[in-house]
Chain A
Amino acid sequence: MSQWFVLYRKEWLELIRSGKLIWVPVVFILLGASQPIVSYMLPEIIAGAGNMPEGTVIELPTLTASGVMVQTLQQFGTLGLLIIALISMGTVSNERLSGTSAMILVKPVAYSSFVTAKWAAMLTITAISFGLGYGAGWYYTAALFGSVSLLAAAGSSLLFGLWLGFVGTVTILFSTLLRSAAAAAFSALGAAALLSIATTLLPKALAWSPGKLTELAAAQLMSGHASGLWPVVSITIISIIAALALAVWHLRQHPSIEAV
């Protein structure tokens, strides 16, 4: 266990030294806070845009505070997800390509610790960034639109955070399987998009899909409860464990890029 902490501390140190621990949370805060502001100012922006025929009445749906929070989550679901995939895409492949994994894995280090320490670091920065960003979104929504119950916000953040963690885990898996970091990010984001679309198209057949997490998070915000939550959560957690196991297994077979 102490060895695992040594590995985790190294990942943590890397997050600090590379500046990720600063810029990722800042970007998430900006993402989370700007959505309520944009929503609030949208009528003015449109009115100010001019070149509307005289007397045009713009009918904008009235936004509720919960509705704005759902929009904020959508921001995290696109740009936020992209950033998580981008910062995780080289987690394993960069080490294998540069040869540092070969330096570390010839030491009596458990392959599972090597992977899960990286995974835990990914979860840490995701949780910090999303937590701060969503908190900022919550604060700005409360200031501009009225408050959303803390319980509903917290519940939805857990569900949505699980989705982010799931995609981050998939990125690390692809980062282990593939040589190219870009290919890993692309595959992970593609898989996430496919899963979301498939879940929307086949709601019955894929009622358990992790792709449903975003929908559940929105439902939690709007109505205070999300039905059919536990199958989705369990399947997601099982998938995360399976992805980690597959990554560890693959790394054990190919600790370094093999050269003849």
Chain B
Amino acid sequence: MALLTVKGLTKSFESTQAVNSIGFTIHEGRCVALLGPNGAGKTTAIRMLTGLIAPTSGDIEFHGIGPGADRRSLIGFLPQVPAFYNWMTGREFLIYAGRLCGLSAKEAQTRSSELLERVGIASAAKRRIAGYSGGMKQRLGLAQALIHRPKLLILDEPVSALDPIGRREVMELLRSLKLETTVLFSTHVLHDAEELCDDVLIMRAGRIAVGGSIQDIRSEHRQPILSLEIEQDEHSRKWLQNWLKTPPAYVKTYSALSGGVRLVVDDVNAARRNLLAELVESDVRMTKLEIGHTTLEDLFMKAVTE
């Protein structure tokens, strides 16, 4: 069931168009990654969803809330750099957040204790936030986003500022969270998206370049690849250089490897046959020929660089 539909969402700042008419649907229970390099417009898109930035144009529609209802009550949000009142304790901030979301004093207290335990900062609950480390603030930020059991949890680059251990721990936390609620998080690291998500939206320069479930994208965009490596003698190198000047028709694109070349081809059998024949005929000293498939990373690189 669709939880959120976005249509033609656009945000222009004075001279630049940060987000350019993007549209997508988020289904209930899915984990969605908003993937893209820095400056692709991810944060702006997310801030529009949370209501922190007014869109220049476009629609954001949550399904299943009455007209006039505040969509913010459905959203839990963790910004890229969560900010707190440093003079409060972690527990005080959580209770405050809970009360603002409409929880009763009692509910807010039990829920806060629960979440402090869950994100692993229960021992620091009574300390001032001023003394928290970056990782602790990230966990507290996650806890405050969850305080009112939101239908949609939105996280802006939740792990990019953390060290490898903190990153690991937050990822584990997210893995358990995605079983309970719908999650949308932005990241510039493909690996994080692949590890956690069902769906991915790849953004580039304010637009969505590719979007859909990871499995679909993987099979749809899967292309055969030939990786060829040769010895670094004069003859073989020359041959490769010349050969690449006018590559045969079955080569769609290629990229240099150290000591060889990586070919994306259309018909893997024809390519293999032809290439082997040419190698033998020209007496090229091949060291390795590998047949494989493009990965999501190839697709990501292609989507964000083209």
A179 to chain B, nearest CB (A): 16
Are B79 and A102 closer than 8 Å at their CB atoms? yes
Nearest B residue to A3 via CB reads B100
Are A103 and B84 closer than 8 Å at their CB atoms? yes
Q: Interface stretch among B26-34, B45-53, B218-226, B279-287?
A: B45-53
- The complex places the Cα of A97 from the Cα of B39 at a distance, in Å, of 21
**Is A106 an interface position by the 8 A CB rule?**
yes
- The complex places the Cα of A104 from the Cα of B82 at a distance, in Å, of 11
| A103-117 contacts to B (CB < 8 Å) | 103-109
Nearest A residue to B81 via CB reads A99
Contact of A107 among B54, B72, B88 (CB under 8 A): B72
Are A10 and B51 closer than 8 Å at their CB atoms? no
**Is A59 an interface position by the 8 A CB rule?**
no
Q: Chain B interface: which size bin?
A: 20 to 34
**Is A170 an interface position by the 8 A CB rule?**
no
- The complex places the Cα of A107 from the Cα of B83 at a distance, in Å, of 14
**Is B132 an interface position by the 8 A CB rule?**
no
Q: Which of B47, B83, B96, B102 has the most CB of A within 10 A?
A: B83
Are A107 and B79 closer than 8 Å at their CB atoms? no
Are A258 and B144 closer than 8 Å at their CB atoms? no
Are A108 and B79 closer than 8 Å at their CB atoms? no
Nearest B residue to A101 via CB reads B83
The A interface, classified by DSSP as helix, strand, loop or mixed, is helix
Contacts of B39 in A (CB 8 A): 260
Q: A17-B87, A260-B13 are in contact. Are A103 and B102 (CB under 8 A)?
A: no
Q: A3-B102, A103-B82, A108-B102 are in contact. Are A10 and B87 (CB under 8 A)?
A: no
- The complex places the Cα of A108 from the Cα of B77 at a distance, in Å, of 12
Q: Chain A interface: which size bin?
A: 20 to 34
The B interface, classified by DSSP as helix, strand, loop or mixed, is loop
Contacts of A106 in B (CB 8 A): 50-52, 72, 75, 77
A62 to chain B, nearest CB (A): 50
- The complex places the Cα of A106 from the Cα of B99 at a distance, in Å, of 14
A160 to chain B, nearest CB (A): 32
**Is A168 an interface position by the 8 A CB rule?**
no
Are B79 and A3 closer than 8 Å at their CB atoms? no
Contacts of B51 in A (CB 8 A): 105-106, 255
Contacts of A98 in B (CB 8 A): 83
Contact of B83 among A10, A102, A255 (CB under 8 A): A102
Q: A255-B51, A256-B52 are in contact. Are A99 and B99 (CB under 8 A)?
A: no
**Is A7 an interface position by the 8 A CB rule?**
yes
Are B87 and A18 closer than 8 Å at their CB atoms? yes
- The complex places the Cα of A6 from the Cα of B39 at a distance, in Å, of 37
Are A258 and B84 closer than 8 Å at their CB atoms? no
- The complex places the Cα of A103 from the Cα of B50 at a distance, in Å, of 10
| B69-101 contacts to A (CB < 8 Å) | 70, 72-73, 75, 77, 79, 81-85, 87-88, 96-97, 99-101
Contacts of A3 in B (CB 8 A): 99-100, 102
- The 8 A-B pairs with the shortest beta carbon distances in the complex, nearest first, are A99-B83, A108-B73, A6-B99, A108-B70, A106-B77, A17-B87, A108-B72, A100-B83
Residues of chain B touching chain A, judged by Cβ–Cβ distance below 8 Å, are 13, 16, 18, 39, 43-44, 47, 50-54, 70, 72-73, 75, 77, 79, 81-85, 87-88, 96-97, 99-102, 141, 144, 148
Return 29 A-B CB contacts under 8 Å, by A number. Answer: A3-B99, A7-B100, A13-B88, A14-B85, A98-B83, A99-B79, A99-B82, A103-B83, A105-B51, A106-B50, A106-B51, A106-B75, A107-B72, A107-B101, A107-B148, A108-B72, A109-B100, A255-B51, A255-B53, A256-B47, A256-B52, A256-B53, A258-B47, A258-B53, A259-B43, A259-B44, A260-B13, A260-B16, A260-B39
